[in-house]
Structure 1
Amino acid sequence: RITARTIGYARWPAIELRLRILWNEERMRLKLALPTVCARDRVLCEILGGTAELPADGDEHVHARWCMLEGGGAAVGVASCGLHGFDCLNGELRLSVLRGAAYCHEQHFELGEYPARAFMDQGTHDVRLLVTAGTPEEVRACLPGLADHLHAPPVAYAHLPIGERGAAQDGAPPFLTLAPAHVRLLACKRAADGEALIVRLQEGAGLPCTAALALHPPGLALTLPLTPLQIATLRIERSGAWRPVAMIEEE
């Protein structure tokens, strides 16, 4: 049994699919098929620590958080949470959602009515994924952020301001802004000596770019060139002065 919800917003660049699956199948696999018009022979995927183009040959492949299929000047991208297996053929992308394989079947025991065997992925599962479409450049740039939204969604806390200092100011600039969309904010914390702010950035789509970071206060605006998938750590002083630092020592 599968209950599916489709969620879309006018200013959100993706459609969200939420699936609740009651799975009691044995020795079967559940695939989610996404037919597209992008019949290319390669699929661009995020892998651990990078990106790779995997063949669209109908065989099962493994990726990390997102994959993209392009062709004819258009592209379709999918960001998921935990759906690491997929295959693709003739423009149809098929994600492996669940599989009811027998536990320890590599021991080559016989599967019969007796004795009873335990099978994987039995029970209720919640699955979320985001699907986006556009030009290859647009889709590739937004996929890292969509994957971050699924894996580490923003948290909202109730805040009751006290006094003038705690009151919200109309038109006040945000504390931190970062562009372009495929530059990820990995860390924003106080330095070990308590005298500065440590900000860690990563380019997430495998594209060279120039990151633009604005911080208020102290009214800092900086640009930083990043190579594909580069991680950069910055130390920002109270005065607005900044410099690159090592990832561990922060000195």
Structure 2
Amino acid sequence: MNDLWLWLFGLVALISLAVFLFPMISLFPKPALAPKKLELPPKQLPAEEMAEEISPVLPQRVQEEILLPHHYGVSRLVAVAKDPRWLYAYWEVSATTQQEFIKKYGQDEWHNSRPVLRVYDVTGLNESNSLTGHSFQEIYIDPFADNWFIQVGQPERSFILELGRLLTNGIYVRLLISNKVSTPRDSISPRLDENWMWLEGLYPNPSNWCYGTSSGMLAGREEQNKN
């Protein structure tokens, strides 16, 4: 009997607690949920227009004119002065020149011979004996190279280059001859222009020298007229 009274008392307490708390819960409304962000469809880029801006489609004729060929089919050796102590050379050995070499010396010699650059110092020499030179140096180059930097170490000198091949028996065969090139000086020119005068000769009195002012110039002219 006592247990029944306890159960009834507990049930009444729970009901009273619920009745007391329900008004308090209703005073605090639930926070409103943020509206769900609308998903916009992905922006469609004009693929063809963008491609034309980055890499415009040119007519075939224009593309052929823009592209520079790696070879021109002309045998030549060109030398230029890089600075007072260095030269730069570039060359091309055409198929015709190569076939002439193979016809005379054989296919094996073309593959087994060593390409050589000869640098002749021809300062003050005329064209008739320029290839004898005061002296020359040999530079063994890479078989696949078509340009080379050459250290001559001599300012104000003239040079002519040769491109050849050194055969397996030690014979040197010349293929190409370059233009004549001269290295510039590595100092200030000693020449003075006679059209210009020193300021001391025009205005002997330093107090009358003009440094960008008209008054000084007039004073200098007056001093010159007095003299």
Q: TM-score, normalised by structure 1?
A: 0.17
Q: TM-score, normalised by structure 2?
A: 0.19
The higher radius of gyration belongs to: 2
User: By percentage of residues, which structure has more helix?
Assistant: 2
